[in-house]
Chain A
Amino acid sequence: MESNRYDVVVVGAGIAGLTAAGAAAHQNLKVALVATGPGSFVLGTSSVKAHELLEAGQTHELSEAIAFCREMARLAGCPLEEDAADGRWLPTLLGAFQRVALAPRALWQAAPREGASAAVVGIHGLTTFDENFMADRLNENARRIGSSCIYTAHQISFTRDFGIPVSSVRVAKCFDRDPSFRVEFASALRKAVSGAQYILLPGLLGMNSSAQQIAEFEREVGCAIGELPTLPPSIPSLRLSQRLEGYLRRAGVEFFRGYPVEQIEIHEDSPIRLQVASPGHPMILRGESVVLASGQHSASLLGGQCAGRDQQMHPLTAAGSAMAQNLFVAGSLLDNGSGNSGEAIEILTGYRAGTLAAATRGCYAGR
């Protein structure tokens, strides 16, 4: 096979694109993923709200898609926890609680615990997080949802220079690579929060740390730690994205990061041709089948012609016919009404499109 030819090319690295690439790689195919940056799942709260799951409808296929996505995250070392029936109350950026159906474990652990005393810990110089604000709000809102959890505010300082203001990315990277920093961090936490049953921190515990590494850190501190959502960049979300990417790379997926696909050409008898706007001269990739999962950007790749999609995830022309049998769309491409992308739909459509794209491999002459 030519080096730039793939069974499946996925465009977009949001949760839809990652799931699609995972589903295709699962079939032992040659898969490429092209993306400019992290998707909105990663930039945002990297969780599926309970109401989104409800709106998506509790179908067998959705359960299967979520189970697949969770298994992928588990193997990636960044497990996603789920409560599809009721959801869990998790804190928001403004210190309210919302019901969440699916979230990375570190965020999941920030749920209120009955009768517990929780220490909300801020970092001196990390100006986008205020522990006093958060503790006040959580106390107020815990009463509102009938929880008896008590929150108290604490602050710790680092002796190392993480910039002014402190950058959470720098702290997280140091957490990843410097064991002595983890020791210092754990000891500062232990001193600050004696008596608390668990700790809530702004997302800081590593850009690439595994669930096991975080569990070791918790043992060092002596209690459970939950991470709170922050303004982007959200460290728990980046961690999920990095771990998933690492896992997919190990599964053989090739990543092309940083440059957008600027053009796609559909040919009847040969693979779809994708032109990537890499510097110097464009890079060409060919996909036996292609999944577009880059949100609004996908729509412009289709030349604004896309009038919807069918059950097989094929984009439709204005006349209502599939544009091509080996072209699929996933994610929030056609969902521009509410302004709320609906992460459950992303996972479902990513899974479906990835699986269907993989199923077209039979017609690949080069194999």
Chain B
Amino acid sequence: MESTQVVIIGGGATGAGILWDLSLRGISATLLEQGDIANGATGRCHGLLHSGGRYVVKDAEAARECVSENRIIKAIAPHCVEAVGGLFVQCAEDDPAYFEKWWSAAETIGLGSKRLSAEEARALEPNVGKDIRGAFTSEDGHVDVFRLVLANLEAAVGRGARFHTYSKVTSIRITDGRARGVHYRDTRTGEEHEIACEMIINASGGWAQSVAALAGIEVPVRCDKGSLLVLNHRLNTRIINRCRKPGDADLLVPAGPVCILGTSSIQMPGPEGLTVSPEEIDHLLELGDELIPGLREARLMRIFCGVRPLYVPKAKGGAGGREISRGYALLDHEAQDGLSGFISIVGGKLTTYRLMAAVTCDCVAKKLGVNVECTTDKVPLRPAVDQSTHQRSLHSLPQAVTEKIETRLGQAVNHVLDAIEAHPELAEIVCECEMVTRGELEYVLGKSNPSPTQTIADIGRRTRLGYGPCQGTFCGYKAMLAGFQTDHWTASEAATEFSAYIHERWKGQSFIQQGKQLDQLSLSHDLYGADVEVCANSGEQDGK
């Protein structure tokens, strides 16, 4: 039986951050994730690296955390961040008193913002409305969430840690009031496994409640749905916040080649089975159009939603839950519920994932008697690409590809370059939107990749393949063939994988009512409609 000191449940930013933090402290750990990396809230958010500006008025402590984490993440993971900066814009309809309140709070906290006149702001962001009153600058940025999670996981693997995706924890072994290990099922093969451990960390976000329930413990988490719209252009170069009390659709985040508008806030019974109503989309577009006039006319490419797993402290009298800040909470179930070796980290936000991991690991280290301080605020997640590697990739690949592949793979780009030098045809570009070469695709599918891929969507999370306007209709097919050619899948498995993948991509577009993306979607239906149907039917016959 596999054994380790710590089992982490949940492969979002927090879980991955904990794995890295523990590995730096020399504590052995294995992370289990029921889906692929960033399966929950982490993979379904804007990817906003907060400056703190959004919280200055309401929650000074959260704002201060953001200020410091923002600087740390830019320093330790520059390849995951587009440090584009942000603007807090005052629209004509918005309360001027809030604008002034924001300014004084920002000064108190030390946000380092500058005050801009309407003309100055429009010079920076020409697409904002003509009737804005003014704006403040901020240090907001965009984080590639998948890359950030991978960076943490791969750095940890480099120090001996392990993680398993598609591994769902089915039970928690408890003897004498102490958690001793977990049973988990490989959700792809159905195989059952067990890991013995000294401590279990529940970092499962929206699923924290159900994971805790396996140990007979109650962890109250409220699931609050947010829907986001992906537009196929960057309408802005900086993150645009609306400077008013935070509400729906007041954030437009440029993310790689697209921009993301969000979000809504609707309470849900759980983290699964989320859908979006046409009214909700219309509402978001209407508000987005106030921020950027004409936004409604942009090509809407995809809609996705996720839940914010908000921690709701037990009513007064409930013992122990050590509430660290309004944003997140570390629950030591030994103190709270009399179960030792089991802790939960709940709530929080992407920007503070590292801090949440640090606080959790401080607690774990103390319990395990390991006297090593946290160093995740200083140690880079990945070494920068060295000059000779960079020259080598410029020699083999077009510059546009070089830039993208180096930020995705770092020094590991050498694996791809080795392959391309031996077989120049591997320089073929398989996904034009994200400049993914066949060489990179084969690397990601191959054994030297530290974060294994099981599905075509997994390839997408590691390379961004399929995130452009074709939504996988063309590049996903090519990725499927590559999986077949590299013996990753049999022909039948490859076709099943592709059908499942494209069906999922269709779902994110099914709410789109008009425009070019609808033409694109009908083409995709025309090409694969029969196959997806066949796949769904045979799945039913097999009782899947």
Q: Is the CB of A125 within 8 A of B425?
A: yes
Name B475-505 residues within 8 Å CB distance of A.
Answer: 477-478, 481, 484-485, 490-492, 494-495, 498-499
Greatest chain A CB density within 10 A among B438, B491, B534 is at B491
Q: Which of A212-220, A262-270, A335-343, A358-366 contacts B (4 or more CB under 8 A)?
A: A335-343
Q: How far is the CA of A55 from the CA of B274 in the complex (A)?
A: 31
> Which of A37-45, A249-257, A271-279 lines the interface with chain B?
A37-45
Among B80-88, B458-466, B515-523, the one that faces the other chain is B515-523
CB neighbours of B495 from chain A (8 A): 94-96, 137
CB-based contact A96/B474 at 8 Å: no
Distance between Cα atoms of A49 and B528 in the complex (Å):
12
Closest B residue to A136 using CB positions? B491
Number of interface residues of A (CB under 8 A): 34
Minimum distance in angstroms from B401 CB to a CB of chain A: 15
Q: Does A155 contact B (CB under 8 A)?
A: no
The answer to whether A165 and B425 touch (CB under 8 A), given A40-B519, A94-B495, A133-B481, is: yes
Query: Contact partner of A299 among B424, B514, B516, B531, CB < 8 A?
Result: B514
B-side contacts of A341, CB under 8 Å: 522, 526
Instruction: Knowing A98-B530, A336-B514 are in contact, say whether A231-B477 is a contact too (CB < 8 A).
Output: yes
Contacts of B492 in A (CB 8 A): 136-137, 140
Q: How far is the CB of A67 from chain B (nearest CB, A)?
A: 23
Q: How many residues of B contact A (CB 8 A)?
A: 36
A203 shortest CB reach to chain B, Å:
13
Contact between B477 and A340, CB atoms less than 8 A apart: no
Contact A136 B523 (CB under 8 A): no
The answer to whether B481 and A128 touch across the interface, beta carbons within 8 angstroms, is: yes
CB-based contact A232/B531 at 8 Å: no
Smallest CB gap from B521: residue in A: A339
User: A127 to chain B: which residues have CB within 8 Å?
Assistant: 425, 428, 438, 478, 481
**A130 at interface, CB cutoff 8 A:** yes
Given contacts A125-B425, A136-B491, contact A340 B514 (CB under 8 A): no
A161 → chain B closest CB, angstroms: 13
A97-155 contacts to B, CB under 8 A, are 98, 125, 127-128, 130, 132-133, 136-137, 140
**Closest approach, in angstroms, between the C-beta of A134 and any C-beta of chain B?**
8
B506–A339 contact, CB under 8 A? yes
Q: Which of A40, A132, A140 contacts B523 (CB 8 A)?
A: A40
Of B491, B499, B530, which contacts A49 at CB under 8 A? B530
- A 45-76 contacts with B by CB, 8 A: 45, 49
B525 adjacent to chain A (CB < 8 Å): yes
Residue from the list B478, B484, B514, B526 in contact with A40, Cβ < 8 A: B526
Interface centre among B478, B525, B527 (most CB of A within 10 A): B527
Please name the residue on chain B nearest to A141 by beta carbon. B534
B514 x A296 contact (CB < 8 A): yes
Inter-chain contacts of B478 with A (CB < 8 A): 127-128, 231
Q: A94-B495, A96-B530 are in contact. Are A340 and B522 (CB under 8 A)?
A: yes
User: A94 contacts which of B424, B474, B531 (Cβ < 8 Å)?
Assistant: B531
Evaluate whether A232 and B523 lie within 8 angstroms (CB atoms) in the complex, with A93-B528, A96-B531, A336-B513 already known: yes
User: Do residues B474 and A232 form an inter-chain contact, with CB atoms below 8 A?
Assistant: yes
In the complex formed, the residue of B with least CB distance to A304 is: B514
Q: Mark A205-233, 1 if CB is under 8 A from B, else 0.
A: 00000000000000000000000010110
Task: Answer whether residue A312 sits at the interface, using C-beta atoms and an 8 A cutoff.
Answer: no
Inter-chain contact A93/B523, CB cutoff 8 Å: no
Rounded to whole angstroms, the CA-CA distance of A98 and B518 in the bound complex is 23
B491 lies within 8 A of A45 (CB):
no
Asked if A326 is at the interface of the complex by the 8 Å CB criterion, the answer is no
Pair A128/B514 contact, Cβ less than 8 Å:
no
Chain A residues with CB under 8 A of B375: none
A96, A128, A133, A332: the one contacting B484 at CB < 8 Å is: A133
Please tell me if B170 contacts chain A, counting CB pairs below 8 Å: no
Q: What residue of chain A has the Cβ atom nearest to residue B502's Cβ? A: A94
Check A340 against B529 for contact (C-beta < 8 Å).
yes
A92 within 8 A of B: yes
Closest to B438 in A: A127
Is A295 among interface residues, defined by CB-CB distance under 8 A? yes
**Given that A96-B530, A164-B424 are known contacts, is A136 also in contact with B490, CB under 8 Å in the complex?**
yes
B325 within 8 A of A: no
Give CA–CA (A43, B525) in the complex, Å.
12
Report how far A332 CA is from B518 CA in the complex, Å. Answer: 11
- B259 CB to closest chain A CB (Å) equals 22
Contact of A340 among B499, B526, B534 (CB under 8 A): B526
Task: Name B518's contact: one of A128, A133, A136, A339 (CB within 8 Å).
Answer: A339
Is B510's CB within 8 Å of the partner chain A?
Answer: yes
Contact A130 B481 (CB under 8 A): yes
Min CB gap A234→B, angstroms: 9
Is B525 in contact with A340, judged by CB distance below 8 angstroms? yes
Interface residues of A in 155-181 (CB under 8 A from B): 164-165
Q: How far is the CB of B442 from chain A (nearest CB, A)?
A: 12
Convert A285-303 into 0s and 1s, putting 1 for each residue whose CB lies closer than 8 angstroms to a CB of B. 0000000000110010000
Is B481 within 8 A of A93, CB to CB? no
A125 CB to nearest B CB, Å: 7
Measured CA separation A127–B522 after assembly (Å) = 24
- Give the distance in Å from the alpha carbon of A291 to the alpha carbon of B490 in the complex: 48
In the complex, A137 Cα to B530 Cα: how many Å? 14
Q: Do A295 and B519 touch (CB < 8 A)?
A: yes
Question: Shortest Cβ distance from B139 into chain A, in angstroms?
Answer: 40
List residues of chain A with CB within 8 A of the CB of B515.
Answer: 296
Nearest-neighbor residue (CB-CB) of A341 within chain B: B522
How many whole Å from A95's CB to the nearest CB in chain B? 7
Q: Is the CB of A44 within 8 A of B527?
A: yes
Query: How many Å lie between the Cα of A229 and that of B477 in the bound state?
Result: 13
Alpha-carbon distance A336/B424, docked complex (angstroms): 44
Chain A to chain B: the 5 pairs with minimum beta-carbon distance, closest first: A136-B491, A98-B530, A44-B526, A94-B531, A94-B495
23 contacts between A and B (CB under 8 A): A40-B519, A40-B526, A44-B526, A45-B526, A49-B529, A92-B527, A92-B530, A96-B495, A96-B530, A127-B425, A127-B428, A127-B481, A132-B491, A133-B481, A136-B490, A136-B491, A137-B495, A231-B477, A231-B527, A295-B519, A336-B513, A339-B525, A341-B526
Taking A128-B481, A296-B514, A340-B526 as given, write out 8 further A-B residue pairs in contact, using a Cβ cutoff of 8 Å, ordered by the A residue number.
A92-B528, A93-B477, A94-B531, A128-B478, A130-B481, A136-B490, A338-B525, A341-B522
